[in-house]
């Protein structure tokens, strides 16, 4: 009786397997479309073609990787990468370029315009020790124009060769020498030393720069920055700097505090307070500002738009509060080494 029962179970299992094989075999030849002399059409999924600017699209991998990997862990490196305020002296490696268009409007005055370009090219076969630098004039009050056409025509440029002396987790040192292409040309040299310090709750970056130029003479700039993450999407930054020119014989002073809030992978909001002054007589701060910077990626991972309203007060205007609105469009292009 026992053997007959086992034989019956084995027969049922074998029958189920054979039925399954037969069913799978028949379905594999099941015709979904066509019939008679009509051929069978096989549906294929065609990848959607993306219209991109092919000759520079390949170079944006570095930015996409940095933004995506840090989008839920905001830190000072993420902020520098996303805003790209100074690609020549920031700590993002590899060849990079920045193209920018900037407008500034003080209430009651005409709109000021400024175009900018910065390029840092890591030279091949140099073990990343030599960089070629190309940069337009900095964005300040004296170099902005009220006419967009004149702005393009009046931009001055500088080129320099950088030698990286040391680049490690805690130290960075480099030496630049080049020419600013004005009339007359202005040769310059600068040496920069940067020290990083890492703690459990914050990170410190201290920078010391010594420079010389034919027009300005010898000078130095000291800056200090403290980044303190508050949580995964907020970072508090304290900064201060002092710049000294021997020909002027006084210090230019700046300090500020900023709160960066990462809204999502495409948007960052920054609230800031800043102050500027000098030591012409006594150390005095005579220019203050408080504002908001809203920055967003508007095309893939490398074109950004930014709006920056600010309230400014200066001693020259008897500390009257002046509303200011600024707009910026930037393309950050780069490749990781």
pLDDT digits (tens, 9 = 90+) for 199-227: 988 999 999 999 999 999 999 999 999 99
- The count of domains in the chain is 1
Does a structural domain hold residue 21? no
Cβ atoms < 10 Å from Cβ of 299: 11
Tens digit of each residue's pLDDT (9 = 90 or more) over 156-191: 889 999 999 998 889 999 999 999 998 889 999 999
CB-based contact 118:87 (threshold 8 Å)? yes
- The residues, ordered by sequence, that sit 6+ positions from 217 with a Cβ below 8 Å of its Cβ are 245, 246, 247
Per the structure, the complete domain to which residue 66 belongs is given by: 55-335
Looking at the predicted structure, is the pLDDT value of residue 66 above 50? no
Please return the burial class of 282, using the count of CB atoms within 10 Å of its CB with bins 0-12, 13-18 and 19+: exposed
Does a structural domain hold residue 27? no
Does a structural domain hold residue 13? no
Dihedral sign, CA of 56, 57, 63, 67? positive
Does a structural domain hold residue 84? yes
Q: How far, in Å, CA of 226 to CA of 240, rounded? A: 9
Average pLDDT, the chain: 78
CB-based contact 292:282 (threshold 8 Å)? no
Closest to 82 in 3D by CA, of 324, 289, 337, 328: 328
Tens digit of each residue's pLDDT (9 = 90 or more) over 247-291: 999 999 999 999 999 999 899 999 999 999 999 988 999 999 999
Looking at the predicted structure, is the pLDDT value of residue 50 above 90? no
Does a structural domain hold residue 292? yes
Does a structural domain hold residue 213? yes
Does a structural domain hold residue 28? no
Lowest mean pLDDT among 114-118, 143-147, 307-311, 331-335: 143-147
Does a structural domain hold residue 152? yes
Q: How far, in Å, CA of 129 to CA of 162, rounded? A: 8
- CATH number of the domain residue 205 falls in: 2.40.160.40
Predicted TM-score (pTM) of the model is 0.72
DSSP per residue, 156-221: -EEEEEEEEEEE-SSEEEEEEEEEE-SSS-EEEEEEEEEEEEE-SS-EEEEEEEEEEETTTEEEEE
Q: Is residue 20 classed as helix, strand or coil in its secondary structure?
A: helix
Structure letter (DSSP) for residue 225: E
230-236: average pLDDT? 91
Q: What is the pLDDT of residue 133?
A: 93
pLDDT category of residue 83 using cuts at 50, 70 and 90: confident
Looking up tokens 């440029």, which residue turns up?
A: 157
- The residues, ordered by sequence, that sit 6+ positions from 171 with a Cβ below 8 Å of its Cβ are 193, 194, 195, 196
Dihedral sign, CA of 53, 71, 263, 114? negative
R_g of the chain, CA atoms, integer Å? 30
Closest to 241 in 3D by CA, of 208, 195, 287: 208
């Amino acid at each position: 009786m026992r053997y007959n029962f086992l034989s019956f179970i084995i027969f049922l299992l074998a029958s189920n397997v054979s039925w399954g094989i037969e069913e799978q075999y028949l379905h594999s030849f099941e015709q979904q479309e066509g019939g008679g002399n009509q051929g069978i059409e096989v549906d294929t999924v065609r990848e959607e073609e993306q219209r991109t600017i092919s000759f520079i699209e390949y170079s944006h991998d570095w930015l996409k990787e940095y933004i995506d990997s840090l989008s839920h862990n905001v830190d000072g490196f993420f902020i520098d990468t996303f805003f790209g305020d100074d690609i020549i002296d920031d700590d993002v490696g590899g060849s990079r370029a920045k193209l920018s268009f900037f407008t500034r409007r003080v209430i009651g005055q005409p709109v000021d315009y400024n175009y900018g370009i910065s390029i840092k090219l890591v030279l091949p076969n140099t073990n990343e020790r030599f960089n070629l630098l190309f940069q337009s004039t900095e964005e300040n009050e004296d170099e902005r124009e009220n006419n967009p056409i004149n702005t393009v025509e009046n931009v001055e440029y500088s080129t320099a060769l950088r030698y990286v002396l040391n680049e490690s987790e805690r130290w960075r040192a480099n030496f630049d020498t080049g020419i600013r292409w004005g009339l007359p040309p202005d040769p310059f040299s600068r040496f920069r030393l940067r020290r990083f310090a890492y703690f459990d709750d914050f990170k410190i970056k201290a920078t010391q720069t010594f420079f010389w130029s034919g027009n300005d003479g010898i000078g130095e700039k000291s800056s200090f920055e403290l980044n303190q993450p508050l949580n995964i999407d907020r970072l508090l930054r304290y900064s201060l700097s002092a710049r000294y020119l021997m020909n002027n014989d006084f210090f230019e002073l700046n300090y500020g505090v900023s709160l960066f809030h990462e809204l999502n992978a495409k948007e960052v909001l920054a609230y800031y307070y800043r102050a500027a002054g000098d030591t012409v007589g006594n150390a005095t701060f005579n220019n203050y500002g408080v504002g908001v910077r809203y920055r967003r990626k508007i095309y893939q991972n490398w074109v950004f738009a930014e709006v920056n309203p600010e309230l400014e007060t200066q001693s020259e205007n008897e500390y009257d509060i002046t509303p200011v609105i600024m707009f910026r469009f930037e393309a950050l292009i780069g490749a990781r080494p």
